[in-house]
Amino acid sequence: MTSWQVMVRARRGELDLDVAFEGDAQPIALVGPNGSGKTSVLRAIAGVFALRDARITVGDTILEDTSSGVRVPIEERRIGYVPQGFALFPHLTVLENVEFGLSTGKNRLPPAERSRRALQMLSDLNCASLARRSVEHLSGGEKQRIALARSLVLEPGLLLLDEPLAALDATLRRTLRKFLAERLRIFRGPSITVTHDVRDVAALGAQVVALENGRVVQQGPLSLIQQRPANEFLAEFVGAD
Amino acid sequence: MGGSWRQSPLTGVGVLFGVTLAGLLLLPFFALAISTPASDLLEGATHPLFASALFLSLRTTLTSLSLTVVLGTPLAWWLASSSSKTARVTEALMGLPIVIPPAVVGVALLQTFGREGLLGPALGSVGIALPFTEISVVLAQIVVSAPFFIQAGASAFREVRPEMLIVAGTLGGSPPVAFLRVALPIALPGLLVGASLAWARALGEFGATLLFAGNMPGRTQTMPLAIFYALESDVRLAIVFSLVLAAVGILLLVTLRFFPALSNFMRGGNA
């Protein structure tokens, strides 16, 4: 079972980020009001910006430890990142998007093997038929799957999803929530999902980590948040009064 | 896009105004096109001034364009990706040569690289004299044309969302790989438009070149300067030279107009 821990102190504009939490293979749902630092936490873990004080480990690997001067660069962290809006590469086809991670750096494979794996991943996610399409004309749901395929094909040590269901309409969201929960179960690696919807937390069977103003204000199973929400936001979030 | 969803404000007077201006823009080119019999064209094209000016123009503009693209791409990237005050001020300053008359640019270049200029003595001490050389032609072209590339390049790079580069990083792409394989291809259409505009501006450059580089046949006499020179001796020759430059401009315009469709077609974006 993969355990991981995150301790991050950093300044991001107005936000003074100071968080510490850890987990295992059970999904984590990162919740909190806008500006509470959710996206910043994901980016800190991914290694996007310099951190004042941090210790980030996944399994036996130390990704960042400011006390001993360790900082693995973003391209070597094996962190899967699906940002809001998915950020598919618009100049590449679906297949080329999924192949990208297999075409550079340490995961570089010969072209034939690259295609084989990317196609396999696409067919696992039921979208092999999209392989030759340009990503620009895909539906929201298709984009979500392709973005997921693009990170999962590298078998990341930790998967970060920033509001993966936010851009979708209500009906589609229900279908894709189920799909996402199922994919995360198959993936079996640890994941952190930023969400604004308590139904995502329930569907993913996730532990909740709640942020406010760059601090963790509460963490635990959804039932705990429902019984004793630590602030107004969380009370609203779980629908309690 | 397209269609006529707007209520047309063009009543009688408006139409008249519009047609007048459009006519004013197009009529001179029409007159130019019909003013020369084919026999004169051949005569002009075989004139000794023609080949030397044409090749000098091509050589210098391709040199200035290459330097503009190589030096300007990192600058445009920085302008697009930095939110610092320095970047905003720099970006505004980079537009200066567009609003300052070319003749002023020519004088300013002389005051910089001329014998009595800011850098003149230093250059002179190592035996370099720039004014009235082919290098000065290239320098003048860079100063007047690079702003077009930098501005178009910066807007093109703004199309690249930062998340795309982060994702490229998490997928194993080092910063140079992310730049070359994600940022650059996304910005490429805009960069090409900027390069085309810069090239067109350099090719037409007259004022700054005349003042800073002079008008010496075979050495600093580019096509626009050759037109000026020929006009004094043989109008027909000037017309032939003009037709060639006009044709290049039209070709560029057509290419730019159809480029988006072309690039879309080439990457199979019709699916």
CATH number (domain holding residue B64): 1.10.3720.10
Residue numbers of chain B with a pLDDT score lower than 50 = 1-2, 268-271
d(CA A164, CA A173): 9
Distances (CA, A) of B135 to A132, B96, B124, B195, B219: 49, 22, 15, 20, 10
CB A226 within 8 A of CB A240: yes
Nearest residue, CB atoms, B166 vs list A76, A83, A137:
A83
- Give pairs for A33-38: CB < 8 Å, separation 24+: A33/A212, A33/A233, A36/A211, A36/A212, A36/A213, A36/A214, A37/A12, A37/A211, A37/A213, A37/A214, A38/A162, A38/A194, A38/A211
Buried-exposed string A6-22: b where 16+ CB fall within 10 A, e elsewhere: bbbbbebeeeebbbebe
Nearest residue, CB atoms, A90 vs list B171, B172, B186:
B186
Q: Does B59 reside within a domain?
A: yes
Q: What's the burial of A135, exposed, middle or buried (CB within 10 Å: 0-12/13-18/19+)?
A: buried
Q: Domain total for chain B? A: 1
Has residue A130 got a pLDDT over 60?
yes
Probe site for chain B from A72, A103, A104 (most B CB atoms < 10 A):
A104
Chain B, nearest residue to A42 by Cα: B166
CB B194 within 8 A of CB B180: no
Q: Does B24 reside within a domain?
A: no
Asked if A137 lies within 8 A of B271 by C-beta distance, the reply is yes
Q: Range of B237's domain?
A: 45-266
Q: Does B12 reside within a domain?
A: no
- pLDDT value, residue B10: 64
Q: Is domain A4-89+160-237 given the CATH code 2.130.10.10 in the classification?
A: no
Any chain A CB within 8 A of the CB of B267?
yes
Give this complex's ipTM.
Answer: 0.94
- pLDDT value, residue A74: 95
Has residue A241 got a pLDDT over 60?
no
Q: Where are the domains of chain A?
A: 4-89+160-237
In sign, the C-alpha dihedral spanning A228, A229, A230, A235 is: negative
- pLDDT value, residue B249: 87
**Residue A106 — φ and ψ, nearest 5°?**
-70, -20
Q: Does B29 reside within a domain?
A: no
Residue B7 is given by DSSP the state P
Closest among A69, A64, A4, A57 to A209, alpha carbons compared: A4
Give the 3-state secondary structure of residue A221.
Answer: strand
Give the 3-state secondary structure of residue B138.
Answer: helix
- pLDDT value, residue B271: 34
Q: Does B25 reside within a domain?
A: no
Q: Does B196 reside within a domain?
A: yes
Cβ contacts (< 8 Å) between A84 and chain B: which residues? Answer: 163
Q: Are strands A28-31 and A207-212 parallel, antiparallel or unpaired?
A: parallel
d(CA B152, CA B94): 12
Q: pLDDT, tens digit, for every residue of A30-59? A: 999 999 999 999 999 999 998 999 999 999
Asked if A150 lies within 8 A of B170 by C-beta distance, the reply is no
Q: Does B32 reside within a domain?
A: no
Asked if B171 lies within 8 A of A84 by C-beta distance, the reply is no
Any chain A CB within 8 A of the CB of B172?
yes
Interfacial A residues in 93-122 facing B (CB < 8 Å): 93, 100-101, 104-108
Q: Does B200 reside within a domain?
A: yes
